[in-house]
Amino acid sequence: MKSFLPLFILLCLIAGCSSQILTTESSSTLEQQTPLKSVEDFVKKSAYIVEAEYEDKSLFSGDSQFEYKFSVKNQYKGEITDDYFYTLGYENEFVPETSYILFLESYESSLYPHILYINQVQGYNLTLGESLDQAPIFRGLSPEEIKELIENSSPLSFHGTEPKIPDYAESPKALIENSDVIVMLEIVSEEPHNKYVSYARAKRLQSYKGKLDKGPYLLPSSIEAGQKVIAFFNKNGDQFNLSTRKDSVYFENAAGWDEILSLLNN
Architecture per CATH, domain 172-265, reads as Beta Barrel (2.40)
Answer whether 9's CB lies under 8 Å from 2's CB: no
Q: Which residues contact 243 (CB under 8 A, 6 or more apart)?
A: 110, 169, 175, 178, 179, 232, 233, 234
Q: What band does 90 get if pLDDT is binned at 50, 70 and 90? A: confident
Domains 7-151 and 172-265 share a fold: yes
| Domain limits, the chain | 7-151, 172-265
What is the residue-averaged pLDDT of the chain? Answer: 83
pLDDT value for 139: 72
Answer whether 195's CB lies under 8 Å from 58's CB: yes
Architecture per CATH, domain 7-151, reads as Beta Barrel (2.40)
Residue 18 CB neighbours (<10 A):
12
Give this prediction's pTM.
0.81
Query: pLDDT, tens digit, for every residue of 59-77?
Result: 999 888 999 999 999 999 9
Beta-strand pair 217-220/197-209: antiparallel
Rounded mean pLDDT, 110-138: 72
Query: pLDDT, tens digit, for every residue of 8-57?
Result: 455 555 665 543 333 344 444 344 455 677 778 888 888 899 999 999 99
Half-sphere exposure of 192 (CA within 13 A, CB side): 10
Q: How long is the chain?
A: 266
